[in-house]
Amino acid sequence: MKITAARVIVTCPGRNFVTLKIETDQGVYGIGDGTLNGRELSVVAYLEEHVISCLIGMDPRRIEDVWQYLYKGAYWRRGPVTMRAIAAVDMALWDIKAKMAGMPLYQLLGGRSRDGVMVYGHANGSDIAETVDAVGQYIDMGYKAIRAQTGVPGIKDAYGVGRGKLYYEPADASLPSVTGWDTRKALNYVPKLFEKLRETYGFDHHLLHDGHHRYTPQEAANLGKMLEPYQLFWLEDCTPAENQEAFKLVRQHTVTPLAVGEIFNTIWDAKDLIQNQLIDYIRCTVVGAGGITHLRRIADLAAMYQIRTGSHGATDLSPVTMGCALHFDTWVPNFGIQEYMRHTPETDAVFPHDYHFEAGELFCGETPGHGVDIDEKLAAKYPYKPAYLPVARLEDGTMWSW
């Protein structure tokens, strides 16, 4: 069996997606996701100039060997562009192999560890009252876990407050828009949100919050300490993770569970955080961490330290990645939770899939492969649109982490 062709499909049914389709001489094809929010064309160029020509003639069943070829064969390895290109290939190859085996992907990975995958949605508002109302709407939809973000008085376009309730997409302009940030104002306001949420809805539902790399370690520790009475499921990305030792300071001062990893690309980004037990959830994604092949290694390392998975699942992951993630989540023994931002109806039409939501959980289907396809004719009706993620500045103009 050989790979005979591979091509990249770029489409924008509400946001940009990069899809790789790999075809074989036996008529079986697979698709993978290589989307990198705001940098999609960089992945397209890498795939078309450095990957596709190498794939032709390879045996698609040799998934591990192909992964090692693309990783070790690239002397300038790692990084978000390279690893997303590898992930696109890896997803497509697992799709092909599961189709050949006539079984859903989770069976090929080792079978079920659970029946359904608990997910969390995004509730946000311009102020506390709006966010409290939004959380109630997610509870009414059956969610067991909800991430809560609020606008903060005096902060321009505070992170996490979307322009829509279900289909929020932060990449919003052909050049980066400028948002604001003030840590002190956030520290004074965010704990009040969770006090009101627990007062309104009690403690039966899981609540999550994203710091989005905005806080210094001391500030993050302070926030975690103030949120302890409200028993958060996790505090996400509380401080930038380039300096992994920074999490030691946070860990020393709060028992609020910590989650990080959506921007990690390899096991090396997560190794120290995991081995030193500085986090409780690892948020690496199938598309960001080089595909299923490499994400399995990260999850296995995490399992040794009782750290659970909590993969990123915003709309910058196409339904292809979501389908793969759900098969992975269904199998992985140390699963924690899966983020789930709903795609637009247009996106769902371009990427027909067999997974579904019910009572706060997502369920992967039984279709052979990862259960997601692409309607190429429909995809062609949504051409690429340049879109950048925003940047953030403090009130005095200093650049800050968005």
Catalytic residues: 159, 212
In the three-class reduction of DSSP (H, G, I as helix; E, B as strand; rest coil), residue 281 is classed as strand
How far apart, in whole angstroms, are the C-alpha atoms of residue 238 and residue 259? 8
Burial annotation 296-308 (CB, 10 A radius, 16+ → b, else e): bebbebbeebebb
Query: Pairing relation of β-strands 234-236 and 258-260?
Result: parallel
The amino acid occupying position 201 is Y
Sign of dihedral through CA atoms 125, 131, 135, 137?
Answer: negative
User: What is the 3-state composition of the chain as percent helix, strand, coil, each rounded to the nearest 5?
Assistant: 40, 20, 45
Amino acid (one-letter) located at 15: R
Helices (H), 236-291: 246-253, 267-275
**Beta pairing, strands 338-339 & 308-309:** unpaired
Angle at 201 between CA 197 and CA 207, to 5 degrees: 55
What gap in Å lies between CA 336 and CA 53, rounded to an integer? 38
CA distance 98 to 33: 17
Identify the DSSP state of 132: H
**Within its chain, how far is the Cα of 208 from the centroid?**
15
Q: What is the DSSP string of 182-210?
A: -HHHHHHHHHHHHHHHHHHHTTSSEEEEE
**Which residues, 6+ apart, have CB-to-CB distance to 81 below 8 Å?**
36, 39, 42, 43, 46
